[in-house]
Amino acid sequence: MQYNQYRTVGFTTLTNGLLAYYSQLNISDAEMILIIQLEMFNQQGEKFPSNEQIAANTNFSTTDVANLIQALINNECLAIEQITDEQGRIGNQYSLNSLYSKLDKILANELSNSTKNDKPTINNLDNSPLNQLMRQFEIEFGRYLSPIEREEVAAWLNVDHYDPEIIKMALREAVLSQAYSLKYVDRILLNWQRHNLKTSSEVQKFLQRNR
């Protein structure tokens, strides 16, 4: 089958806002994959796919799917609603309305910071340095950051005003030391701050001198 023939399978439409800001909703990468699957099934007319159907499209087990669904429900990003079809039969459907209501609030806040003449574009929804940092930490740590850990990373940027590149360098030093904790990264950042290191080049020279 040629590439273009795969297009006949169809497409799933997702808002770029969700792709850019799902981490701010405390949605993990695994939960995001599940949301994409639910959207795909919904847009194909299947409003309540089974755990087996979802698992068949992913690397998740049916147990994984069940746990992810429950996590999204607990986070008030997903709901199971009762519906009645045209024949009067009662059934269920998944609803992501609460997720998109939360996303609306985030986007409204982000876009209100733009000038009045600006129009929302994909550029407004690009991944922020904060989101990129959080994903980098999750990749290196091999786990998802907790809400408290996410707040700490945000504080490094917004309160301490550390350069994102310096934070990444501190993360790399922690990983090289096999210390997978934010406390260890914070100690590295504080040490560099005491040495008045403000740029990545200054940090690099400092590291070379002290290897």
Confidence label for 109 from pLDDT (cuts 50, 70 and 90): confident
Q: Are 76 and 98 in contact (CB under 8 A)?
A: yes
- Smallest CA-to-CA distance from 141 within 154, 153, 127 is with 153
User: Is residue 61 over pLDDT 70?
Assistant: yes
Count the neighbouring beta carbons within 10 Å of the beta carbon of residue 103: 21
CATH classification of the domain holding 99: 1.10.10.10
What pairs with residue 94 in β-bridges?
80
What average pLDDT does the segment 155-174 reach? 92
Give the whole-number percent of the chain exceeding pLDDT 90.
Answer: 48
- Residues 86 and 146 grouped into a single domain: no
What average pLDDT does the segment 68-80 reach? 95
User: Is residue 139 over pLDDT 90?
Assistant: no
Domain boundary among the residues 89, 124, 159 is at 124
Domain boundary among the residues 87, 102, 124 is at 124
Confidence label for 120 from pLDDT (cuts 50, 70 and 90): very low
For residue 107, the model assigns a pLDDT of 76
Q: How many residues are given for the chain?
A: 211
Confidence label for 113 from pLDDT (cuts 50, 70 and 90): low
- Residues 65 and 154 grouped into a single domain: no
Q: Are 153 and 130 in contact (CB under 8 A)?
A: yes
- Residues 133 and 117 grouped into a single domain: no
Please give the helix or strand (H or E) that residue 109 lies within, else none: helix 97-112
The Cα–Cα gap between 89 and 78 comes to: 23
Q: Is the pLDDT higher at 2 or at 134?
A: 134
Look up residue 137 and give its two tokens: 């930490």
Q: Is the pLDDT higher at 4 or at 78?
A: 78
For residue 67, the model assigns a pLDDT of 96
User: Is residue 21 over pLDDT 90?
Assistant: no
- Residues 115 and 132 grouped into a single domain: no
- Residues 114 and 90 grouped into a single domain: yes
For residue 144, the model assigns a pLDDT of 78
What average pLDDT does the segment 155-182 reach? 91
For residue 123, the model assigns a pLDDT of 45
Average pLDDT, the chain: 85
- Residues 13 and 80 grouped into a single domain: yes
- Residues 63 and 154 grouped into a single domain: no
Range of the domain at 92: 3-124
For residue 62, the model assigns a pLDDT of 96
Confidence label for 4 from pLDDT (cuts 50, 70 and 90): low
CATH classification of the domain holding 142: 1.10.10.630
Question: For residue 26, what are the contacts with CB-CB under 8 A and spacing of at least 6?
Answer: 75, 147, 150
Please give the helix or strand (H or E) that residue 116 lies within, else none: none
- Residues 30 and 19 grouped into a single domain: yes
What average pLDDT does the segment 141-161 reach? 87
- Residues 175 and 194 grouped into a single domain: yes
Number of separate domains in the chain: 2
Q: Are 37 and 57 in contact (CB under 8 A)?
A: yes
Whole-prediction pTM value? Answer: 0.54
Domain boundary among the residues 124, 157, 190 is at 124
- Residues 199 and 162 grouped into a single domain: yes
User: Is residue 7 over pLDDT 60?
Assistant: no
Look up residue 108 and give its two tokens: 């409204």
**How far out from the chain centre does Cα 26 lie?**
7
**How far out from the chain centre does Cα 36 lie?**
13
- Residues 29 and 96 grouped into a single domain: yes
- Residues 77 and 138 grouped into a single domain: no
For residue 122, the model assigns a pLDDT of 41
